[in-house]
C-alpha cells in the first residue's frame, strides 16, 4: 500500500492534508511501539500526540511520588532483547522521571520522533464508506487521511476533575495529578488539600506531607494499600534477571495479571489460620501487588476475601497511632475489586502532626470558595488543592474525539450504554479502526507493558496481512462482538470485581454506564487472540473493495 505523506511535511496547523497508510493517536508506550512495528512492515505511519513529548502516562503524571507499582524489570518492553539488556533500572519500582527517560531513550534508539506530531490533539475522525479510508482531524486544523486508524490513547489518560460548585472562586492554585506542571510545585510552607486516596493520592500524600505546612486529606473511600518495600535495584539482581530474561517474561505471561507473582494455590476457606497468616505475611513482606494473590479464591469468594481484608486492617491499626484515624483509614469494601495501591509510608503519614484526615464519605465537599473547601458547614482554608481524583478510565480518551464510523455513526452513540468491542481491539461499524488495550481486553488488570506489546503485535500483524492480501476493509462483525461482550461480562460476574464502585465499572464518573470493562485473564486472552488469527481472523470481515 505505502501511501506517502504527499502534501506537506508536518502538522503545521494551517489546515493542510497528509496521507498515510496508518494514523496512530497517542505516543505513550502503545503508540511508540506501534509506530516501530508499522515501519517494520514497510507501512507509512504518523503518530499524533496531544502532549509535547513521548511517554504518555509518564509524560503527564509528574506529581510528587509518582512511580510504577509493577517492578521496573517487568514494567518495560521485551520486544527488543538489546534494549532490555542495555537499559539499567536504578530502583525496584522506578520513579516517573526514570520511566520517562526510558521512554525518551526508546524514542531516540528507534528514531521514532520524526514520525510523531507533538502538541497535536485529535478532535474528530470520520470513516469514508466510499474509499474505506479514515479522515483524522486535529484541533490545529490539520487533516490526515489513512486506511487504518489506531487509537493508542491510553486507559488512564482522561483526567477526572470533580465539578464542585464554586470552583472558579478559589483564589489558590489547583492541580490534577495527571496534568502536573513540568517545573514541579513547591508546597513548602503552604496549606494543601489532597482530594482522593486512590493510587495517585497514596503516592503523593506522603511526599506532599513532608513539604506542606499542613496537609488536609479528603477521603471519600478508604483504600487498601500494601507496602512497596522499594529500594535500589542491586546490579547483581539485575544481572541475574538479564542472564535469563526470557524466563521471567514467560512466567509473567502465564499469570492472569501478566507479572511474575501469580496467585497462590491456597484457598482461604480450606487453609488453616496459620497457613493463611504465613502466606499473607510472606506476600506483605515481599511487597507490591502480589498480596492480592494470597489465595486462589480471594477474588471469588467474599469470606475468602474478608480474611485478607482483615489482615490489612490489622496492619493499618498497628501503624496509625490515633485509633479514630486508623478506623477511618480501614477500608470496608472487597479487597482488590478496586486496584490495590502500592505505598511508601502512606499510613505512617497520618501519624504526622501536620496531617489531618477529613472523612467525606457521608458529607461530600459541598463547595469551593475563595479560601478553600467546605465540608458539612466547616471551611478548610488552604493555599493549594491537589485533585488526585483519577480518570474517566478506559473509554474517556476514546470518546473525547468525535469518532464517526459507517454511515456517520458516532462511537459515543454506539457506546451509549457501555463499550462493546471484539477482543477490545475493534468495534463493529467502525472498520479499519483499532484500539490498543481497549475495553474488553485484559489491559488494566495486568502489567500493562506485556498487554500493550501483545495488542500492538496482534493488530499490526492483522494490518500487515490485510495489506499483503489487498484487503481494504477490516471490520468486526456484530455477532462476534456480541459474543465477546457477553463473555467478558460473564467472566467478571463470576468474581467479586463488580461488587464495588470502581473505575473498572465506570462508577467513578457520574452518569457513566455501569459496565465492567476489562477482561479477566491474560493467558486465556492471548490464547484466544492467537486462535482467532490462526482461524483467518474469525469474527472479522476482510474485504477487498474500493480502491484508494
Ligand atoms: P498512555 O501512556 O496513556 O498514552 C496515551 C497518549 O495518548 C497520551 O500521551 C495522550 O496525550 C495521548 N492522547 C490521548 N487522547 C489524544 C487525542 N485525542 N489526540 C492526541 N493524543 C491523545 N500500569 C502498569 O502496568 N504498571 C504501573 O505501575 C502503572 N502505573 C501507573 C501510574 C499512573 C500515575 C497512571 C496514571 C497509570 C499507570 N499505569 C500503570 C497504567 C499506564 O497508563 C500504562 O502502564 C501505560 O503507560 C499506558 O500506555 P499507553 O501508551 O497505552 O497510554
Ligand atoms: P482512582 O483510583 O480513581 O482514585 C481517585 C480517588 O479520588 C478515589 O479515592 C476517589 O474516591 C476520589 N474521588 C474521585 N472523585 C471524587 C469526588 N468528587 N470527591 C471526592 N473524592 C473523589 O485514581 P488514581 O489514584 O489516579 O488511580 C487510577 C489508576 O491509575 C490506578 O488504579 C492505577 O491503575 C493507576 N495508577 C497507578 C499508580 C502506581 O502506583 N503505579 C499510581 C497512580 C495511578 P472513591 O474511591 O470514593 O471513588
Ligand 2 centroid from CA 495, angstroms: 22
Provide φ and ψ at 205, rounded to 5°.
Answer: -55, -50
Average pLDDT, the chain: 95
Q: Is residue 547 predicted with pLDDT exceeding 90? A: no
- Distance from C-alpha of 476 to C-alpha of 545, rounded to nearest angstrom: 16
CA angle 435, 513, 299 (to 5 degrees): 80
At 237 the pLDDT is 95
pLDDT at 414 over 90: yes
Banded model confidence at residue 51, pLDDT cuts 50, 70, 90 = very high
Q: 201: closest CA among 190, 189, 191, 192?
A: 192
For ligand 1, whether the C-beta of 294 sits within 6 Å is no
DSSP string for residues in 223-256 = --EEE----B--HHHHHHHHHTHHHHHHHHHTST
**Whole-Å CA distances, 305 to 261, 295, 308:** 18, 8, 5
To test the pocket of ligand 2, the residue of 220, 230, 364 to mutate (highest count of ligand atoms within 8 Å of its CB) is 220
Query: Is there an atom of ligand 1 within 6 Å of 447 CB?
Result: yes
Q: Please state the rounded mean pLDDT for residues 44-72.
A: 98
For residue 151, the number of C-alpha atoms closer than 13 Å in the C-beta half-sphere is 34
Residue 86 has pLDDT above 50, yes or no: yes
Average pLDDT over residues 72-83: 98
Minimum-distance ligand 2 atom for the alpha carbon of 221: 47
The average pLDDT across 466-482 equals: 97
Question: Which ligand 1 atom is at minimum distance from the Cα of 54?
Answer: 9
pLDDT at position 5 over 50: no
Using CA atoms, how far apart are residues 463 and 453, in angstroms rounded to an integer?
15
pTM above 0.75, yes or no: yes
Q: Which residues pair with 216 in a beta bridge?
A: 193, 356
pLDDT at 9 over 50: no
**How many angstroms does the Cα of residue 464 sit away from the middle of ligand 2?**
38
Sequence-distant (6+) residues with CB within 8 A of 272 are none
CB proximity list for 462: less than 8 A, separation 6 or greater: 434, 474, 533, 537, 540
Give the count of beta carbons closer than 10 Å to the beta carbon of residue 198. Answer: 22
Query: Can you read off the three cell numbers belonging to residue 536?
Result: 483467518
> Tell me, what's the pLDDT at 12?
47
CA distance 347 to 374: 25
Q: What is the pLDDT of residues 315-365, one digit of tens each?
A: 999 999 999 999 999 999 999 999 999 999 999 999 999 999 999 999 999
Asked if residue 15 has pLDDT above 80, the reply is no
Mean pLDDT, rounded, for 473-482: 98
Are 82 and 14 in contact by the 8 Å Cβ rule? The answer is no
Task: State the pLDDT confidence band at 548, using cuts at 50, 70 and 90.
Answer: very low
Q: Is the pLDDT of residue 506 over 50?
A: yes
pLDDT of 10 strictly over 70: no
Q: For 237-289, write each residue's pLDDT tens digit.
A: 999 999 999 999 999 999 888 899 988 999 999 999 999 999 999 999 999 99
Amino acid at each position: 500500500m505505502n501511501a506517502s505523506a504527499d502534501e506537506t511535511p508536518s502538522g503545521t496547523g494551517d489546515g493542510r492534508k497528509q496521507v498515510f497508510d496508518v494514523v496512530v493517536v497517542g505516543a505513550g508506550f502503545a503508540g511508540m511501539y506501534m509506530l516501530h512495528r508499522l515501519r517494520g512492515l514497510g507501512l507509512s505511519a504518523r503518530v499524533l500526540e496531544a502532549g509535547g513529548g513521548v511517554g504518555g502516562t509518564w509524560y503527564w503524571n509528574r506529581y510528587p511520588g509518582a512511580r510504577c507499582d509493577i517492578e521496573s524489570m517487568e514494567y518495560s518492553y521485551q520486544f527488543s532483547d538489546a534494549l532490555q539488556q542495555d537499559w539499567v533500572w536504578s530502583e525496584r519500582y522506578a520513579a516517573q522521571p526514570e520511566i520517562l527517560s526510558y521512554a525518551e531513550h526508546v524514542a531516540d534508539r528507534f528514531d521514532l520522533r520524526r514520525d510523531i506530531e507533538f502538541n497535536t490533539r485529535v478532535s474528530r475522525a470520520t470513516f469514508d464508506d466510499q474509499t474505506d479510508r479514515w479522515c483524522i482531524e486535529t484541533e490545529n486544523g490539520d487533516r490526515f487521511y489513512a486506511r487504518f486508524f489506531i487509537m493508542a490513547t491510553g486507559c488512564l489518560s482522561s483526567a477526572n476533575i470533580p465539578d464542585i460548585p464554586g470552583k472558579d472562586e478559589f483564589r489558590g492554585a489547583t492541580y490534577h495529578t495527571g496534568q502536573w506542571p513540568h517545573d514541579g510545585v513547591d508546597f513548602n510552607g503552604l496549606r494543601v488539600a489532597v482530594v482522593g486516596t486512590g493510587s495517585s493520592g497514596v503516592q503523593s500524600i506522603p511526599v506532599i506531607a513532608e513539604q506542606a505546612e499542613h496537609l488536609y486529606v479528603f477521603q471519600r473511600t478508604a483504600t487498601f494499600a500494601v507496602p512497596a518495600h522499594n529500594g535500589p535495584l542491586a546490579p547483581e539482581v539485575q544481572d541475574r534477571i538479564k542472564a535469563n530474561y526470557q524466563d521471567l517474561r514467560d512466567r509473567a505471561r502465564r499469570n492472569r495479571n501478566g507479572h511474575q507473582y501469580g496467585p497462590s494455590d491456597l484457598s482461604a476457606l480450606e487453609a488453616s489460620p496459620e497457613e493463611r497468616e504465613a502466606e499473607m505475611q510472606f506476600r506483605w513482606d515481599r511487597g507490591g501487588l502480589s498480596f492480592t494473590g494470597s489465595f486462589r479464591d480471594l477474588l471469588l469468594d467474599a469470606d475468602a476475601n474478608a480474611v485478607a481484608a482483615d489482615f490489612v486492617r490489622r496492619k493499618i491499626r498497628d501503624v496509625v497511632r490515633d485509633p479514630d484515624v486508623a478506623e477511618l483509614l480501614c477500608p470496608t469494601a472487597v479487597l482488590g475489586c478496586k486496584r490495590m495501591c502500592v505505598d511508601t509510608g502512606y499510613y505512617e503519614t497520618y501519624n504526622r502532626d501536620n496531617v489531618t484526615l477529613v472523612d467525606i464519605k457521608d458529607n461530600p465537599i459541598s463547595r469551593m470558595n475563595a479560601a478553600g473547601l467546605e465540608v458539612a458547614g466547616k471551611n478548610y482554608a488552604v493555599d493549594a488543592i491537589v485533585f488526585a481524583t483519577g480518570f474517566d478510565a478506559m473509554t474517556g480518551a476514546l470518546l473525547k474525539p468525535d469518532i464517526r464510523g459507517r454511515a456517520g455513526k458516532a462511537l459515543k452513540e454506539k457506546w451509549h450504554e457501555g463499550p462493546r468491542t471484539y477482543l477490545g481491539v475493534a468495534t463493529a461499524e467502525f472498520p479499519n479502526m483499532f484500539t490498543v488495550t481497549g475495553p474488553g481486553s485484559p489491559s488494566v488488570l495486568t502489567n500493562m507493558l506485556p498487554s500493550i506489546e501483545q495488542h500492538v503485535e496482534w493488530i499490526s500483524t492483522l494490518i500487515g496481512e490485510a495489506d499483503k492480501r489487498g484487503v481494504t476493509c477490516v471490520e468486526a462483525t456484530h455477532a462476534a462482538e456480541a459474543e465477546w461482550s457477553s463473555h467478558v461480562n460473564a467472566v467478571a460476574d463470576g468474581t467479586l470485581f463488580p461488587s464495588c464502585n470502581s473505575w473498572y465499572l465506570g462508577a467513578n464518573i457520574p452518569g457513566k454506564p455501569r459496565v465492567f470493562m476489562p477482561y479477566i485473564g491474560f493467558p486465556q486472552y492471548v490464547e484466544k487472540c492467537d486462535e482467532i488469527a490462526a482461524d483467518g481472523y474469525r469474527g472479522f470481515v476482510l474485504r477487498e473493495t474500493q480502491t484508494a
